[in-house]
Amino acid sequence: MLIIVLDVDDEKHLIEYNRMEYPSLMELISNTYYSEIGACKGKGLCGTCIIEVIDGFHEQPINDQEIETLRKNGVYDKKHRLACQIILNEEVNGAEFKEFVE
């Protein structure tokens, strides 16, 4: 499976993954090209792993903690999610995301 991630410098990363290889998109991004995201280690509290959904992402459920963190960061809308809360399954295959920069 494959996802596309644009980093903060707009460099495109094509990242292959296997189902259940990583617990979340945040882990895949940080382990693949060592981006400095996920200060809270995936608890959904800090907002350092906010990503913008560009294309191909079929929405996954969003919990109250993620909503609160996105609101605190002023980006609670359908375009932004926390990468630590996105599960890497078949439905994410082919999706494109951009790391969020304030």
pLDDT value at position 102? 66
Range of the domain at 73: 2-99
**Total domains in the fold of the chain:** 1
Give whole-number Cα distances, 17 to 40, 69, 82, in Å.
Answer: 23, 27, 19
Domain CATH for 43: 3.10.20.30
Residue 25's pLDDT is what? Answer: 94
Taking only the tens of pLDDT, the chain with its 102 residues reads 999 999 989 999 999 999 888 999 999 998 887 777 888 989 999 999 999 999 999 889 999 999 999 999 999 998 999 999 999 988 899 999 999 976
